[in-house]
Amino acid sequence: MRNKLFLGVISAVFLLAGLTIYWWYKGESRQGPTTLASNDYVLFMGLDQVDQVRRTDTIILAKLEDQSLKLLSIPRDLQVKFADGTSHKINEAYAAGGPELTTQLVSDLYGLPVHSYIVADFAGVSQLVDSVGGVQVTIPKAMNYTDKSQSLVINLAAGTQMLNGSQAVQYLRYRDSSTNEDLGRIQRQQQFLGLLAQKLSQNQGVDQIKNWVTAALQFVKTNISSVDLYRLVGRVKGFTTQNMKFSTIPGQAQMIGNVSYFIQSPLETSARIDEFFNNKQILTNSDVKVIVLNGYPKDPKNPTRGQGLAKKGFDYLTSQSFDAIAYWNTPDQVYDYQTSYIVNISGDTSKAQRLASALKDPNIQIVTPDQFAQLPPPDGVTFSEGDRYKATAKMLLTTRIPPNDRGVDLNTADLVLILGAGTPLAGPVAQDAGVKTTPPATQQTTPTGSTGGH
């Protein structure tokens, strides 16, 4: 996978101040009409170049409010439709129509009045970092990568260190090719922006500002007037990292026709935009923590029936942006659930109803922990813990549970989903052959111990 570049916003936010002061030193008037309203959006774009084609590998939508600067990262692989109806990655829009097309696509995609943009070339980041004396970063693991087609060599050791401009570019370009972790790189980009902000706040003198403006100015393009830039500096100059808020478009990577795209979740994205930019408190799937258990009845004539159901439920909920924590079997010696249950641990009915709606199971039952505990046990089974709910809690806590291979505290979840025979998810996967499972960490003391991570 080609390593791309998430860089422009690193310099662009703080170049606002520098560019404004630069024009001021040149004697340009600080008076005149403004085209940038107090709460307007600005699209930051950072460029890379592969095979002589310029693309945007950093795309961040910013909104400057009275007391905060909000930065929403847009993955460069986001699938969008161009005017001719063809699908592309959003980072291809710059080559097709420059910053104007990218800005228009973002505006149309999210229904926001985005008109202003700032574009920065990656070379400006290197010079900017050098001009402020480097940025101290803690690198969690060694980063090594070579791409001869881009003349790119990344070689960074793990640990806390002061990165110069070249090393900062390596840090921001690195992407683990084994996981294709674009979102992880976005998190590093956001972290680096905060660290650079701290460093720049320590360089307030005129001489320092002139130095880094001179170093970075040649790498920046914007349609914001110098008058508006001057006015913006008056608003951002007192900001610290505490005034910055970060978020990312929710969704998942997906291969389509041998091309890796980022497919955003429409409902989650709409909620994220409303919550982040419009300060609306909206419950989203990602706010709901779920543990998934397989309660499919055992069939003596078909002992593999139902295997893989918990994992299938886990994967489905993850694809719908729920915060799926773990998956495993119910603690019953006989998986006797003909009906699916949602055990509402948190007591938040809106979360339980949101999960029920996503499952599209008209027979699913939402119960409290006490109601679940009172369900009668299978014939011949006695719960040594006292009831079904306590047995479930003990099983989860004393068993290595996928996907993290460790015990799970039931109370860390909002809901426990137990998939019964009637679930729509009990399709072909429920008929699959045996699934490799993780053995329990400890021997269950109740006759209701699990035997496999279905």
Q: Let me know whether 216 and 309 are in one domain.
A: no
Q: Let me know whether 121 and 221 are in one domain.
A: yes
In a domain, 274, yes or no: no
Q: Let me know whether 211 and 81 are in one domain.
A: yes
Q: Let me know whether 331 and 390 are in one domain.
A: yes
Contact status, residue 28 vs residue 226, Cβ threshold 8 Å: yes
Contact status, residue 341 vs residue 295, Cβ threshold 8 Å: yes
Give per-residue pLDDT as tens, 400-421: 999 988 999 999 999 999 998 8
| φ, ψ of residue 334 in degrees (nearest 5) | -120, 125
Q: Let me know whether 99 and 233 are in one domain.
A: yes
Give per-residue pLDDT as tens, 242-288: 777 888 898 888 899 888 899 998 878 888 898 889 887 778 888 89
Q: Let me know whether 378 and 247 are in one domain.
A: no
In a domain, 333, yes or no: yes
Q: Let me know whether 110 and 186 are in one domain.
A: yes
Report the candidate in 102, 106, 23, 114 with the shortest Cα–Cα distance to residue 55. Answer: 102
Q: Let me know whether 125 and 217 are in one domain.
A: yes
In a domain, 259, yes or no: no
In a domain, 451, yes or no: no
| Helices assigned H by DSSP within 111-216 | 122-131, 165-173, 182-201, 206-216
In a domain, 267, yes or no: no
Contact status, residue 286 vs residue 304, Cβ threshold 8 Å: no
In a domain, 280, yes or no: no
Q: Let me know whether 26 and 126 are in one domain.
A: yes
In a domain, 265, yes or no: no
Report the candidate in 78, 115, 72, 67 with the shortest Cα–Cα distance to residue 274. Answer: 72
Domain that holds residue 333: 285-431
Domain count, the chain: 2
Give per-residue pLDDT as tens, 212-243: 556 556 677 888 776 676 666 666 666 666 77
Q: Let me know whether 232 and 311 are in one domain.
A: no
Q: Let me know whether 246 and 362 are in one domain.
A: no
In a domain, 202, yes or no: yes
- Residue spans of the chain under pLDDT 70: 1-39, 48-53, 122, 148-151, 176-184, 186, 190, 193-194, 197, 200-218, 226-227, 229-241, 298-299, 303-305, 331-335, 427-454
| CATH code of the domain covering residue 212 | 3.40.630.190
pTM: 0.54
